[in-house]
Chain A
Amino acid sequence: MTTRPGIRPATIAVAVLAVIWIYPVIWTLVNAVRPTADLYRGPLDLPIPPALGNLADAWNRANLGGALLNSTYVASLTVAGALVVAIPAAFTLTRLRPPARAALFLLVLAPLIIPTEVLIVPLFAIYRNLGLINSLPGVALVNVVFSVSFATVILAGFFRRIPQDLIDAAQLDGAGRLALLRFIAVPLAHPGIVDVGAIVAVFAWNDFSGALVLLQRPGVFTAPLALTTFSTFYATDEGLRFAGLAITFLPPLVVFLLLQRRIVLALTAATAR
């Protein structure tokens, strides 16, 4: 093999592709401070001076403060709910011996293959009968259903790495199942639980289709829904919409950048089986 000095051709190719790939993302962030008129005049120029007023206007018009709070509430409830049901399920499916274990594992994966569209109309009808339309916990419950399979698969990967001896020894000492969960499973799989929480939070934060149907009153809109109000009421204010998009995108972006290596590892572990 000839070792080429300097930069390899693959690196140049990858760098060019990476710039193309990230460009729409960067462009979203840059447009946040671009005056609306310039979006149409010079979409490739740098916005100098930056129209910082965009951010404040977007915040006020779409009531983003309230929407971000709503999104935070839904995302937190979704994460809590998903973990509460997925941790015991993943633990018993990997480390204990419930009857029909393999079949039950498949059953927990069912939401992956059932499309949202099949459930959305019946759920809308059921929610209306229960008075749960416009209820943020109601949206969180639907999010939990659609994240529980993923959470269980990833957590199962982490629980499999706990030595069986440790669990057997604890059981010999008389530890019950809840004690196993609390003192062995959760502490030892702590990193995995953080990863799952982060992924589920980003998913719930970005959810659009569930919220679109179940939330009808602007006061309870989550951030992705609030962003659509720019196009209905303020058809010309695309600049403001980009400002809103950038503000909304910031929390998942920060989570992703902080945890990117681990999130990627967790996602790959889940698909490697």
Chain B
Amino acid sequence: MRLAAGRRERALDFALLLPVLALLAAFLLYPLLYGLDLSLSRTEGLEVTGSVGLAHYARALFGDAVFRQGLVNTVLLTAAAVVLQTGIGLGLAVLVSETRRGQAVFRIAFVAPFVLAPVAAGTVWKFLFAPFFGIVPSVGGALGLDLSTFAPLSDASLALWAVVVVCAWRFAGFSMVVYLAGMQSIPHELHEAAELEGIGPFARLRRITWPLLWPQTFALTLLTTIGTLRVFDLIWIMTGGGPGHATETAATYVYTTAFRSVDVGYAQAMAMILMVLIVALAFVEYRLLTPRVEAAAA
């Protein structure tokens, strides 16, 4: 009798999850299955006209140089974003924590880009990176240097790195606040004791702060990876994937293929590959970083 009641209780506890599960079933699981079907189908517009088996996947992986470049760009962008956003974020957090006054103001300054809409951020940086009237030519001009043709977004060898700069600018502030919160939980005595031993600030950063912040580094690495692998809006606004395909990412190429070339089945196959890549990378990071997080917690 009590067992039955317990089971009924737990079923009712479960009922509170029904809204979210219904939402995920309708708007996540069903589209995923629908998408899997599309990726295996020949499509005419949005209509399925037959089955192609794995042909779309084979074409994406072995026969499409643009998609390959998109994947390479995506991985480069993500690796750079992880290193820069966590690195700059940690640097900013250390500097800000050293200041006595105005911490709130500094925090606002560094986090504000995170709140700015991607559309706005993209537009602003398109201007700042423009030749002749952009930020580098203007500052250069004020210093008496002629940098008027510096235009990273229209230079195929620089465009991706320009995008990296903008991503770092947008998200480093977020990493900073996460690190700042982590640093507050590091006991002051540790630093004081090390200081008495004559250990300098950089050695303290490397041997005390950095290892104890592993949980934050772990969370930020995962979040940045997941976030950057699917970055679309910033790139779409700034370069549309160009010049040529220099800043084409898997995400922008999926969008163009689906909605410009209207090759829906093929676009969906590439999207599925992107998803597998994201899940796999997140899993690898999880496995690599978890032991160090546990060491930091111990």
Are B255 and A117 closer than 8 Å at their CB atoms?
Answer: yes
Are A92 and B14 closer than 8 Å at their CB atoms?
Answer: yes
Are B35 and A121 closer than 8 Å at their CB atoms?
Answer: yes
Contacts of B20 in A (CB 8 A): 85-86, 88-89, 108, 148, 152
Q: Residue A217 at the B interface, CB < 8 A?
A: no
Are A1 and B195 closer than 8 Å at their CB atoms?
Answer: yes
Interface 1/0 per residue, A1-19 and B, CB below 8 Å: 1000000101101110111
Of all chain B residues, which has the CB nearest A101?
A: B13
Of the residues A43, A108, A114, A265, contact of B275 by C-beta under 8 Å: A114
Of the residues B35, B46, B100, B278, contact of A128 by C-beta under 8 Å: B46
Are B34 and A125 closer than 8 Å at their CB atoms?
Answer: yes
Q: Residue B28 at the A interface, CB < 8 A?
A: yes
Are A260 and B17 closer than 8 Å at their CB atoms?
Answer: no
Q: Residue B268 at the A interface, CB < 8 A?
A: yes
Total interface residues on A, CB under 8 Å, equals: 91
| B55-112 with Cβ < 8 A to chain A | 92, 95-96, 98-102, 104-112
Contacts of A208 in B (CB 8 A): 117-119, 233, 236-237
Q: Residue B282 at the A interface, CB < 8 A?
A: yes
Contacts of B236 in A (CB 8 A): 208-209, 212
Contact of A43 with B119 at beta-carbon distance under 8 Å, contacts A88-B16, A122-B35 already known:
no
9-residue interface stretch from B144-152, B153-161, B171-179: B171-179
Contact of A115 with B119 at beta-carbon distance under 8 Å, contacts A27-B124, A98-B16, A148-B20 already known:
no
Are A98 and B100 closer than 8 Å at their CB atoms?
Answer: no
Are A119 and B115 closer than 8 Å at their CB atoms?
Answer: no
Q: Residue A166 at the B interface, CB < 8 A?
A: no
Contact of A108 with B177 at beta-carbon distance under 8 Å, contacts A10-B95, A25-B116, A208-B119 already known:
no
Contact of A98 with B14 at beta-carbon distance under 8 Å, contacts A21-B169, A271-B178 already known:
yes
Q: How far is the CB of B12 from chain A (nearest CB, A)?
A: 6
Are A238 and B19 closer than 8 Å at their CB atoms?
Answer: no
Of the residues B38, B104, B120, B125, contact of A261 by C-beta under 8 Å: B104
Of the residues B21, B110, B138, contact of A18 by C-beta under 8 Å: B110
Of the residues A98, A128, A245, contact of B10 by C-beta under 8 Å: A98
9-residue interface stretch from A51-59, A72-80, A246-254: A246-254
Main secondary structure of the interface of A (DSSP, over half): helix
Of the residues B46, B102, B132, B250, contact of A117 by C-beta under 8 Å: B250
Contacts of A86 in B (CB 8 A): 20
A206 and B116 alpha carbons, distance in the complex (Å): 8
Of the residues A15, A115, A224, A267, contact of B230 by C-beta under 8 Å: A115
Q: Residue A227 at the B interface, CB < 8 A?
A: yes
Q: Residue B202 at the A interface, CB < 8 A?
A: no
Q: How far is the CB of A177 from chain B (nearest CB, A)?
A: 6
Interface 1/0 per residue, B266-288 and A, CB below 8 Å: 01100110110011001000000
Are A96 and B13 closer than 8 Å at their CB atoms?
Answer: yes
Contacts of A174 in B (CB 8 A): none
Of the residues A108, A181, A272, contact of B24 by C-beta under 8 Å: A108
Are B119 and A260 closer than 8 Å at their CB atoms?
Answer: no
Contacts of A233 in B (CB 8 A): none
A118 and B96 alpha carbons, distance in the complex (Å): 39
Contacts of B250 in A (CB 8 A): 117
Are A119 and B99 closer than 8 Å at their CB atoms?
Answer: no
Are A22 and B109 closer than 8 Å at their CB atoms?
Answer: yes
Are B98 and A10 closer than 8 Å at their CB atoms?
Answer: yes
A98 and B9 alpha carbons, distance in the complex (Å): 8
A114 and B251 alpha carbons, distance in the complex (Å): 12
Of all chain B residues, which has the CB nearest A142?
A: B27
Most buried by A among B10, B216, B250: B10
Q: Residue B164 at the A interface, CB < 8 A?
A: no
Of the residues A14, A15, A18, A209, contact of B233 by C-beta under 8 Å: A209
Contacts of A120 in B (CB 8 A): 255, 258, 271
| B227-278 with Cβ < 8 A to chain A | 229-230, 232-233, 236-237, 250-251, 254-255, 258-259, 264, 267-268, 271-272, 274-275, 278
Q: A24-B124, A96-B13, A245-B119 are in contact. List 7 more A-B contacts (CB 8 A).
A: A14-B99, A89-B16, A91-B16, A98-B10, A98-B14, A117-B271, A145-B27
Binding site for B on A (CB under 8 A): 1, 8, 10-11, 13-15, 17-19, 21-22, 24-25, 27-28, 39-41, 43-44, 84-86, 88-89, 91-93, 96-99, 104, 107-108, 110-126, 128, 141-142, 144-145, 148, 152, 177, 181, 202, 205-206, 208-209, 212-213, 224, 227-228, 238, 241-242, 245, 248-249, 252-253, 256-257, 260-261, 264-265, 267-268, 271-273
> What 4 pairs between A and B have smallest CB-CB spacing?
A10-B98, A115-B230, A18-B109, A206-B117
